[in-house]
Amino acid sequence: MKFYTYFRSSASYRVRIALNLKGLDYEAVPVHLLRNGGEQLTDAYRAVNPSALLPALEEDGVVLSQSLAIIEYLDETRPSQPLLPADPLGRARVRALAQTVACDTHPLSNLRVLKYLRGPLGLSEELKQQWISHWISEGMAMLEAHLARDAQTGRFCHGDTPTVADCCLVPQVFNAQRFGVDMTAYPTVMRIHANCAALPAFIQAHPAQQPDAE
């Protein structure tokens, strides 16, 4: 498998965790989001993924995109160490937690949006920071509320083994901390984060551990 990744890309980080949890080997192809005006915007990368976003996974000449779709594909084709529960209600809960990050939190503070705020909208660095804090805090508050009220939350987002929800939670907390967002209001999120951070699969997927880290 060829895996197109960038060390600090949150969506790439999710898939790296999933690959590690399943013990899968892959060839990392770094795509630098800032160098040369953004390597993801080149014709060469658009031929891989026309969305010009990371990550992408190539297997037997077929390219898959979208982190959650890739993780579900890995889970369907490599079923050991499942990343979704077996029961439909559990699966729905885990997917909803993952999507709370992937649909309601992360898209608002990713690189292309922050560039648009500073460029075409001409916002100050301070207003950009306010935007980031606002949307990450909103998303973390949602995640906290869902996790804190539900007895199905365990050592991890759903019970005592990591799922795709944890693959999303950890990179989002990394983002939040990188941008200096105060996380004290989200104790359940942070407890789960600490449990994940102790596992080799999560440690080895961390941005700082990547070959393309700066």
Q: List contacts with a copy of itself (CB under 8 A).
A: 46, 50-53, 62, 64-66, 68-70, 72-73, 76-77, 88-89, 91-93, 95-96, 99-100, 102-104, 106-108, 112-113, 116, 120-121, 123, 127, 130-131, 134, 138, 142, 145-146, 149
- Reading the block at residue 55, the tokens are 């990550």
d(CA 191, CA 11): 22
Residue type at position 89: L
Closest CB to a copy of itself among residues 20, 109: 109
Closest CB to a copy of itself among residues 120, 211: 120
d(CA 170, CA 174): 6
Tell me if the bond preceding 120 is cis, omega within 30° of 0: no
Closest CB to a copy of itself among residues 51, 177: 51
Closest CB to a copy of itself among residues 133, 203: 133
d(CA 110, CA 38): 14
DSSP state of 53: -
Angle at 99 between CA 133 and CA 71, to 5 degrees: 120
DSSP state of 41: G
Minimal distance in Å, beta carbon 133 to a copy of itself? 11
